[in-house]
């Protein structure tokens, strides 16, 4: 892995992204609009948006980045450009980290816009500082990126990649604590939810909205960062120079 090759790969991915204004709009604005819709939906029920708005902020960037990343890297596998890159000195980690950097930057912009919209326009109130909410949203989007990169290794077509959503993402949403606090779940499901990274994303958001400090916030964030790093390492390890 060399910094020059990693960075030029990241720059190339970003350049491709900017050549596609529709995707840029989707990445930057769609989650904010969804949060707006959500807040409007509960505008007559005080307190609901304050309770659920935070977890929603954790979800939308995660889902969107998962989808975009897995489909984009799959396109690279199928177009033959990955095969060409695998005949060059580009390292597997250069490729994966290059993608992670590019989409990580996009995710950071997205999280900033989404959290800003939720707080300023929709009036989401948190007990903890707003920047912590932004940090959680960025890390969640990065987690989505890392899992998307990993998932694309196991898909042969874009169609299959999209189908990872119901398999990998929906159970995490159901068991993550958004619909029911995790400690009220049946024991087995609670135990399973302890192993799902999105649970920690929602734990972290809940900590910020409640104003919890220290371990209640940083513990889940460390878990998310570690899972992201492991997913990226696995994505690089499962990339093959030789294919059948």
Looking at 12-53, which runs of residues are DSSP E strands?
A: none
Nearer to other proteins, 86 or 189 (CB): 86
Nearer to other proteins, 3 or 47 (CB): 3
Nearer to other proteins, 51 or 240 (CB): 240
Residue 243 CB, nearest approach to other proteins (Å): 6
User: Is residue 64 a contact partner of residue 27, using CB atoms and an 8 Å limit?
Assistant: yes
Cα 187 to Cα 176: distance, rounded to the nearest angstrom = 14
Count how many residues are written for the chain: 244
Q: Is the dihedral angle over the CA atoms 76, 235, 8, 225 positive or is it negative? A: positive
Nearer to other proteins, 8 or 160 (CB): 8
Cβ partners under 8 Å of residue 148, min gap 6: 65, 66, 67, 68, 69, 70, 73
Residue 190 CB, nearest approach to other proteins (Å): 43
Nearer to other proteins, 72 or 108 (CB): 72
Closest CA to 205 of 74, 66, 60, 53: 53
Residue 160 CB, nearest approach to other proteins (Å): 19
Q: 2: which DSSP letter?
A: -
Nearer to other proteins, 168 or 239 (CB): 239
Closest CA to 61 of 133, 157, 151, 167: 133
Residue 74 CB, nearest approach to other proteins (Å): 14
Interacting residues toward other proteins by CB under 8 A = 4-5, 8-9, 11-12, 15-16, 19-20, 79-81, 83-90, 240-244
Residue 38 CB, nearest approach to other proteins (Å): 32
Looking at 198-237, which runs of residues are DSSP E strands?
A: none
**C-alpha neighbours within 13 Å on the C-beta side of residue 36:** 11
Residue 81 CB, nearest approach to other proteins (Å): 5
């Amino acid at each position: 892995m060399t910094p020059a090759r990693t960075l030029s790969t990241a720059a190339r991915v970003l350049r491709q992204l900017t050549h596609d204004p529709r995707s840029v709009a989707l990445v930057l604005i769609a989650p904010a609009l969804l949060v707006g819709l959500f807040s409007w939906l509960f505008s007559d029920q005080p307190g609901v948006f304050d309770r659920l708005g935070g977890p929603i902020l954790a979800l939308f960037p995660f889902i969107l980045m998962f989808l975009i990343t897995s489909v984009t890297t799959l396109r690279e596998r199928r177009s033959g450009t990955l095969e060409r890159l695998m005949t060059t000195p580009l390292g597997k980690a250069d490729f994966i980290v290059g993608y992670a950097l590019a989409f990580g930057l996009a995710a950071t912009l997205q999280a900033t816009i989404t959290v800003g919209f939720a707080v300023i326009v929709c009036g989401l109130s948190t007990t903890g500082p707003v920047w912590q909410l932004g940090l959680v949203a960025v890390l969640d989007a990065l987690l989505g990126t890392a899992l998307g990169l990993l998932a694309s290794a196991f898909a042969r077509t874009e169609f299959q990649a999209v189908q990872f959503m119901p398999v990998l993402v929906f159970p995490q949403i159901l068991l993550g604590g958004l619909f029911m606090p995790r400690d009220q779940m049946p024991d087995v499901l609670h135990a399973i939810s302890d192993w799902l990274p999105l649970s920690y994303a929602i734990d972290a958001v809940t900590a910020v909205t409640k104003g919890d400090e220290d371990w209640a916030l940083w513990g889940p964030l460390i878990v998310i960062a570690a899972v992201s790093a492991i997913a990226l390492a696995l994505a690089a390890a499962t990339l093959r120079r030789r294919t059948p």
